[in-house]
Amino acid sequence: MSDHDSPDEGTPGRRETADERADRNWNDLLQEFRVLQTGVQILAGFLLTLPFQSAFGDLDSTQRGLYLALVLLAFLTTTLLILPIAVHRRLFRMQRKDQLVRVGHIVARCVLVAVSLLIVGLASFVVDVVVGRPAAAMVALCMAVAVITATLVVPALAERRVSSH
């Protein structure tokens, strides 16, 4: 048996080949991308309807700037979400699923950052328009703390807990 086909001894409780592990990891990434894609599509769709509302003309230059930044960030995030599919198409049948998983992992981290910025920005934009800038600043800070907690703190605590057992 070659190294490529040997069971994965590095993952406790699993006896799988490197190919099986790569397939499982790729499928896990695809599920994560599906969830992210749906959320980004909903946020982008919401953003794209705003210019067609009568109150859009009442936005000040700061609000318009933030709006445009959020639309571009939504488009960038959508583009990042199609990147793993483009790489998959390029590497298809080349026996390079391990490389695909590495690229997918990096892209997933970038998408999480972009979605986090989108969430914070969108929350502050809406509050700015509805209530005002001071409240928007407070909401942006609170949302940033919530997003950092959800994407960095809780996963780090979970990793520490798993590592200690």
Amino acid at 47: L
Tell me which residue of 117, 92, 106 sits closest to 29, measured CA to CA.
106
- Give the separation between CA 146 and CA 51, rounded to whole angstroms: 29
Report the pLDDT value the prediction gives residue 15, as an integer from 0 to 100: 85
For the chain, give the secondary structure using H, E and C.
Answer: CCCCCCECCCCCCCCCEHHHHHHHHHHHHHHHHHHHHHHHHHHHHHHHHHHHCHHHHHCCHHHHHHHHHHHHHHHHHHHHHHHHHHHHHHHCCCCCHHHHHHHHHHHHHHHHHHHHHHHHHHHHHHHHHHCCHHHHHHHHHHHHHHHHHHHHHHHHHHHHHHHHC
Token duo for residue 90: 């390029």
Is there a domain that residue 1 lies in? no
Q: Identify whether 10 is part of a domain.
A: no
Residues facing residue 17 across a β-bridge: 7
Note whether residue 12 is domain-resident. no
Q: Is residue 43, in this structure, part of any structural domain at all?
A: yes
Looking at the domain assignment, is residue 5 inside a domain?
Answer: no
Percent of the chain with pLDDT over 70: 92
pTM above 0.85, yes or no: no
* pLDDT for position 13: 67
Domain count, the chain: 1
CB atoms inside a 10 Å sphere around CB 81: 21
Residue 9 within any structural domain of the chain: no
Q: What is the dihedral of CA 70, 71, 77, 79, to 10 degrees?
A: -160
Which pLDDT does position 124 carry in this prediction?
97
pLDDT of residue 11: 59
Q: CA-CA distance, 113 to 77, in Å (whole number)? A: 9
Q: Look at residue 7 in the predicted model and tell me its pLDDT.
A: 40
**Residue 2, both tokens:** 């070659």
Tokens of 116: 């986090």
The pLDDT of residue 115 is 95
Domain interval for residue 99: 18-164
| Tens digits of residue pLDDT in 4-14 | 444 444 556 67
Answer yes or no: is 4 within a domain.
Answer: no
What are the tokens at 115? 């979605």
Residue 11 lies in a domain: no
